[in-house]
Amino acid sequence: MASRLPLRETVGMALTTLTSNRLRSLLTMLGIVIGNASVITLVGVGRGAQNLAEGQLSSLGANVLFVVPGRNDTRRQGIESPKTLVLEDARAIAQQVPSVRRVAPQITLSEVVQAGALTATATVSGVTPDFLPVRNFEMAQGRFFSASDLEGARNVAVIGPDLRDKLLPTGSAIGRQLRIRDQAFEVIGVLEPKGAVFGSNQDETAYVPLTTMVSRLSGRDPTYGVVLSFISVEALDERSTSAAAFQITNLLRQRHHILRDDDFAVRSQKDAQQIVGTITGGLTLMLAAIGAVSLLVGGIGIMNIMLVSVSERTEEIGLRKALGARSGDVLLQFLVESLVLAALGGVIGSAAGLGTVAMVAALTPLPAAIELSTVLGTVLLSGTIGLVFGVLPARRAAQLDPIVALRSL
């Protein structure tokens, strides 16, 4: 019985065969290249979306809680803004919850803001001086509201940088006038860029004192008093957030006389990050699965081309067997050819995918990124697909009868 060919010689013969048919080899690899590039790109973009969302949420502060109004059954009935949070609730939290450092009640409206001949539809928020440290905002120009601005219900405004660019694009914004409804407001400050959170662009917002908002824009509800959109709460530190949430929940249940369903919710940054992480993680997995379909198609392409190659090389296989080559040698050679096509296509496709991810990160706000383990896993997967889809052609070549094969010479 003839001895098995050395692995090095088998690999060399496989590479020689592939290089002798360069165009066919390149076209065969194309499916794997596209598949790998698709997986790397889609996973990188999905990871970038997750990083962007987590970065925006982390800007809220690790020890910030949000108390939002809403009863589950009223939401099901289609009531968008149930009146369950009032200014007295915010004052009670500040005075009676020991785990809380600051409380920032907020009223939010959508209004047309005008500066001279320029207008823009923007969010107008009534807040207190504690809003700035609670929400971790920084001033770019001017100042924020003072206690005297709040007590005097003065017509002053602090605006985001995007709103400034729309309404006051030239010169300094400090000291200039804005009109909201029929009221004139003096701009006293411009905030540093903050970005969007929960789909709302914080940089296109005009902030006014809460008392000014109530007396001149939103008004009081005759039944409930000063109705709030939500309450931002700063816990003593990150470790105190759970205790603060528990204490706030108990306090508001007592104040609202709740026996069963809460008419409010207390949310933390971690809660939001977990929700966003679950959603974006699922989307990334789905995108990777879509890209993997291209890899499957590439594997089928390799199998088809290798089957054609077996038919074309029947005489070669018969001659090799007649000279003493074993079926295992023929099987290994065709498996190596399939593996080389798939692995090389995986490397080229991964390089193309990495280039696309880098381009997305450089040209868009999306911080697209990809881990090395994902790249290596994708290349390994493409090689495995090459082996799996190369088994059938390799077995067919190995099982050829040398006498039958030589008859075609």
Going residue by residue through the chain (409 aa), what tens digit of pLDDT does each one get?
444 556 676 667 667 777 777 787 788 888 888 888 888 888 888 888 777 776 666 666 668 899 988 764 444 444 444 568 999 999 999 999 999 999 999 999 999 999 989 999 999 999 999 999 998 889 999 999 999 999 999 999 999 999 999 999 988 999 999 999 889 999 999 999 887 665 577 889 999 999 999 999 988 877 778 999 999 999 988 888 889 999 999 999 999 888 778 888 888 877 776 777 777 778 778 877 877 787 888 888 888 877 877 776 676 666 666 666 677 777 777 788 888 888 888 889 889 999 998 898 888 877 888 888 888 888 888 888 887 887 777 777 777 666 655 555 5
Q: Are residues 233 and 85 in the same domain?
A: yes
Amino acid at 321: K
For 20, the domain range is: 7-56+275-406
- The distance in angstroms from the start CA to the end CA of the chain is 25
Q: Is residue 267 part of a domain?
A: no
Q: Is residue 19 part of a domain?
A: yes
DSSP 111-162: EEEEETTEEEEEEEEEE-TTHHHHTT--EEEE----HHHHHTT--EEEE-HH
Q: Are residues 76 and 39 in the same domain?
A: no
Dihedral sign of CA atoms 190, 191, 192, 198 in order: negative
Q: Is residue 295 part of a domain?
A: yes
Q: Is residue 61 part of a domain?
A: no
- Residue indicated by tokens 């409930």: 224
Q: Are residues 258 and 282 in the same domain?
A: no
**Hey, what's the torsion of the CAs at 271, 277, 282, 285, to 10 degrees?**
-160
Structure tokens at 181: 């409804």
Q: Is residue 77 part of a domain?
A: yes
- Do 57 and 269 form a contact (C-beta atoms < 8 A)? yes
CA triple 153-199-128, angle to 5 deg: 20
Per the structure, how many domains does the chain have?
A: 2
Q: Are residues 115 and 234 in the same domain?
A: yes
Q: Are residues 250 and 294 in the same domain?
A: no
Q: Are residues 27 and 166 in the same domain?
A: no
Q: Is residue 232 part of a domain?
A: yes
Q: How far apart are CA 34 and CA 41, in angstroms?
A: 10
Q: How far apart are CA 196 and CA 52, in angstroms?
A: 10
Q: Are residues 222 and 75 in the same domain?
A: yes
Q: Are residues 216 and 129 in the same domain?
A: yes
Instruction: Give the domain-ending residue among 262, 291, 311.
Output: 262
Q: Are residues 326 and 202 in the same domain?
A: no
DSSP state of 6: P
Q: Is residue 66 part of a domain?
A: no
Q: Are residues 12 and 80 in the same domain?
A: no
Q: Are residues 77 and 18 in the same domain?
A: no
CA distances from 140 to 143, 144, 197, 276, 401 (A): 9, 10, 20, 30, 82
Instruction: Give the domain-ending residue among 229, 262, 295.
Output: 262
Structure tokens at 165: 């660019």
Instruction: Give the domain-ending residue among 262, 296, 316.
Output: 262
Structure tokens at 73: 């059954």
Q: Is residue 329 part of a domain?
A: yes
- Do 267 and 245 form a contact (C-beta atoms < 8 A)? no
Q: Are residues 170 and 98 in the same domain?
A: yes
Residue 375's DSSP bridge partners are none
Amino acid at 220: R
| Alpha helices, DSSP H, located in 197-326 | 210-212, 241-256, 269-312, 314-322
